[in-house]
């Protein structure tokens, strides 16, 4: 995730700290919510990760609030092959014969980028070149608030059909 690009400050601060603000585990699901606000140049950045045990589905959800409109990126790096659906709302990642499907549960579409440094995300000394990796990418422009929820599920599993705000994860 990389909010704050149009604020002229890039995405992450080098000195930020994050903390787990909520978590739960039961027979049917487990989740954790992490407040990452101090690691970004935005007003609020919170990430939730949830495992739905019966379907082996993982949801990664980011809720971002900035003080002014900004371009936001969400990335998942893989060395697998990525095939994006015609509508851009899902992508099949194939690696070593195994398939995993990523679904966007709200606004946005998937694209694929090379996993290399950019002008707004430069390489750090000693960083690997990521030559065999790609970025599954979601990019939205000029947003002050944005919730992105991505479900990763085995092929053939129907993902959740709606986004539940992190504050309502119980």
Residue 88's CB: how many other CB atoms inside 10 A?
13
Domain count for the chain, please give it.
1
Q: What is the DSSP string of the chain?
A: ----GGGTS-SB-SS---EEEEEEE-SSEEEEEEE-GGGBSSSEEEEEEEEETTTTEEEEEEEEEEEEEEEEEEEEEESSEEEE-TTSSEEEEEETTEEEEEEE-SS--EEEEESS-BTTBPPPTT----TT-EEEEEEEEEEEEEEEEEEEEETTPPPPSS---GGG--
What is the mean pLDDT of the segment spanning 57-61? Answer: 97
Residue 153 pLDDT greater than 50, yes or no: yes
State the pTM of this model: 0.87
- pLDDT above 70: percentage of residues in the chain: 89
Distance (Å) of CA 101 to CA 59, 82, 141: 12, 10, 25
Q: Is 127 exposed, middle or buried (0-12, 13-18, 19+ CB in 10 A)?
A: exposed
pLDDT of residue 2: 52
pLDDT at 129: 79
**Residue 108 lies in domain:** 5-168
Tokens 């000029």, residue located: 142
Predicted local distance difference test score (pLDDT) of residue 145 = 93
The structure tokens listed for 170 are 């119980």
pLDDT of residue 7: 45
Give residue 37's pLDDT band: very low, low, confident or very high (50, 70, 90): confident
Mean pLDDT calculated for residue range 153-165:
94
Average pLDDT on 113-124 reads: 76
Rounded to an integer, what distance in angstroms lies between the CA atom of residue 9 and that of residue 3? Answer: 9
Q: Would you place residue 6 in the very low, low, confident or very high pLDDT band (cuts 50, 70, 90)?
A: very low
CA–CA gap between residue 82 and residue 80 (Å, rounded): 6
CATH code: domain of residue 126: 2.70.98.70
Q: 10 Å Cβ neighbour count for 133?
A: 14
Residue 12: per-residue pLDDT: 67
């Amino acid at each position: 995730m990389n909010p704050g690009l149009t604020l002229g400050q890039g995405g992450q601060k080098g000195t930020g700290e994050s903390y787990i603000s909520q978590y739960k585990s039961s027979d049917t699901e487990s989740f954790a919510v992490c407040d990452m606000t101090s690691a970004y140049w935005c007003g609020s950045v919170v990430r939730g990760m949830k495992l739905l045990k019966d379907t082996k589905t993982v949801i990664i959800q980011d809720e971002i609030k900035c003080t002014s409109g900004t371009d936001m990126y969400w990335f998942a790096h893989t060395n697998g092959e990525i095939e994006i659906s015609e509508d851009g709302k899902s992508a099949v990642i194939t690696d070593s014969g195994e398939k995993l499907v990523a679904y966007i549960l709200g606004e946005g579409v998937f694209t694929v980028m090379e996993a290399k440094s950019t002008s707004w995300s430069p390489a750090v000394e000693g960083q690997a070149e990521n030559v065999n990796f790609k970025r599954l990418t979601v990019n939205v422009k000029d947003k002050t608030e944005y919730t992105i929820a991505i479900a990763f599920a085995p092929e053939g599993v129907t993902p959740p059909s709606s986004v539940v705000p992190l504050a309502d994860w119980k």
